[in-house]
A and B are shown apart, each in its own frame.
Chain A
Amino acid sequence: MIVFEQVSKRYATGREALSNVSFNIHTGEMVFLTGRSGAGKSTVLKLIALLERPTRGAVLVNGRNTRALKPRHIAAFRRHIGVVFQDHKLLADRPVFDNVALPLAVAGAPLKEMDKRVRAALDQVGLLGRERALPQELSVGEQQRVGIARAVVSKPPLLIADEPTGNLDPDLSLEVMRLFRRFQDVGVTVVVATHDLHLVREFGQRVITLEGGRLLGAAPPDTLPSVVAKR
């Protein structure tokens, strides 16, 4: 599903966010991307969602080299990726329904289907019945779940999340992670960037650790403690 081949990313400011990073993520896998802030987690996600392009190396998503993608095809490319943000990026002046329906609206889905799928997505995150609420009327955890509903409403084969539990307490974090697990169960490839190592250990998925823009270890869960011990 995702292939990073000797990827380096240098921003216009001159900071090298990633240096020669290579890894594979298979279809249907759930992978945690860990590392301290500034380690390059966000850059990896940006490269996957084509918010940035690699300076060197190749990023392949779903078999497509992102470097070869023409600007006018970026929109269609992004429709196959669900993105969840730490600050959830909801539109404050639109009710929950409109926020969740946005990916369907941009794809030109008919109203009837929109209605059905938005309700299904809200049901999955446990917020059915809150369609008319405005984001600020919801709790932080609920807002994050609306963001997740928006990310999965168009049933993308790939779901990426940048610190989705960053603003949540441990119980809510666990709940959100379980939600991602459920999407993996139905075949969605899930990549979650997080620095919450307790949570990572609890879920026992593959972990890709970055430090200073370099790959520290793409460790299976059983070797994780040694990686953590080094830090």
Chain B
Amino acid sequence: MNVGHTQAFFGSLGRLARSPVSTLLTLLVIALALALPASLRLFVTNAQAATGNFGSAIDLSVYFRTDVPLAKAQQLANAARARADVAEVKLISADKGLEDFRNYSGFGDALAALKENPLPHMLHVHPRDTASTPAALEALRGYFSAWPEVELVQVDAQWVQRFNAILEVLRELLAIAAALLGVGVLAVIGNTIRLEIAGRRAEIEVIKLVGGSNSFVRRPFLYIGLLYGLGGALLAWGIIAVAVVLVGESVDKLARLYGSHFQLQGPTAEEIGALLGAGAVLGWIGAWISAARHLRSIEPRA
């Protein structure tokens, strides 16, 4: 950075500090415009991480016919355990099932009225992580359905797939929102620079008169744009950090209710870098466009 750039940079910083209220308001607008897509992205990545946890928890429930004896179920469970795509098989006998149901459902007294156990034996099959794709799950389902002793195979993956589809829509919305709000940031900074240029018209005329090149005249405005963009991005980061802390507790509570250890993740260092970078670049570009448009029209008059 040569002397001219350093001077322009600190000159711009000083100028922003001299009108704190309007500078702060502009920064806030930019920060909100940046924080919105950034927090939407954070939501999507967190939701994905959360369903990723559930994804590894996709299980198959295999229900035998009620006339299948426990010994036969045991034998089939062992066969299933031998498969490469199965991580764990748990046999739940009809008696155990009824007991669990009695304990957890609150229908204890009603169940006591039953003459015999209506529940079948069942297998709780947990596939390996490598086999948790929809196609692999479908293959596994087919394998169990083919047994004549099996009445029903249930895969609880449908809601996860739906949720992932929703996330996909959100991701597309995020891209559109980011593009629109990016244009908004450009407009805000461009307009701020336009006002700045109008307010310093006399100075610009004199600078051009003593031989200041267009790039020399433009320089402080580009730095102002850069500072606005970067400052707005820093403020956006702060807003997101506060939001993550505030929402984090409720998310913890929610995750506990689902028996999950999921925790809300704040932005990664890379994401913060991208946010600051985007702010700086948008600020610079917005200032450049505005300066190119409005500085040309200012020519010195003697």
Contact = CB atoms under 8 A, between A and B. Distances in A.
B210 to A, nearest CB: 4
Interface string B144-185: 000000000000000000000000000000000000000000
A157 to B, nearest CB: 13
- Most A CB contacts (10 A, CB to CB) among B3, B4, B203, B302 go to B302
B202 interface: yes
B302 A49 contact: yes
Given A108-B2, A108-B4, A42 B208 contact: no
Interface string A79-93: 111010100011100
B300 interface: yes
A76 interface: yes
Contacts of B300: 51
A214 interface: no
B211 A76 contact: yes
Given A78-B211, A83-B209, A108 B302 contact: no
Interface stretch (B36-44, B94-102, B212-220, B257-265): B212-220
Contact of B211 (A42, A91, A103, A162): A103
Given A45-B302, A108-B2, A108-B4, A91 B209 contact: no
Interface string A25-55: 0000000000000000010011001010000
A107 B299 CA distance: 18
Given A75-B214, A78-B211, A91 B203 contact: yes
Interface residues of B, number: 21
Given A51-B299, A83-B302, A106-B216, A150 B210 contact: yes
B207 interface: yes
B210 A83 contact: yes
A106 B207 contact: yes
Contacts of A107: 211
A102 B207 contact: yes
A79 B4 CA distance: 16
Contacts of B211: 75-81, 103, 106-107
A209 B202 CA distance: 31
B206 interface: yes
A89 B209 contact: yes
A110 interface: yes
Nearest to A78: B211
A138 interface: no
B210 A108 contact: no
Contact of B210 (A72, A103, A110): A103
B115 interface: no
B7 interface: yes
A133 interface: no
- Most A CB contacts (10 A, CB to CB) among B205, B207, B211 go to B211
A76 B212 CA distance: 8
B201 to A, nearest CB: 12
Nearest to A91: B203
B203 A106 contact: no
A105 interface: yes
B3 A106 contact: no
Contacts of B207: 102, 106
Contacts of B208: 75, 78
Given A51-B300, A89-B206, A105 B4 contact: yes
27 contacts: A42-B302, A49-B302, A51-B299, A51-B301, A72-B213, A72-B214, A75-B211, A75-B213, A75-B216, A76-B211, A78-B211, A79-B210, A79-B211, A80-B211, A81-B211, A89-B205, A90-B206, A102-B212, A103-B211, A105-B4, A105-B7, A106-B207, A106-B210, A106-B211, A108-B4, A111-B3, A162-B302
Given A49-B209, A89-B206, 18 more contacts: A46-B302, A51-B209, A51-B301, A76-B213, A77-B211, A78-B209, A79-B210, A83-B209, A83-B302, A85-B302, A89-B205, A89-B209, A91-B206, A102-B206, A102-B210, A106-B213, A106-B216, A162-B302
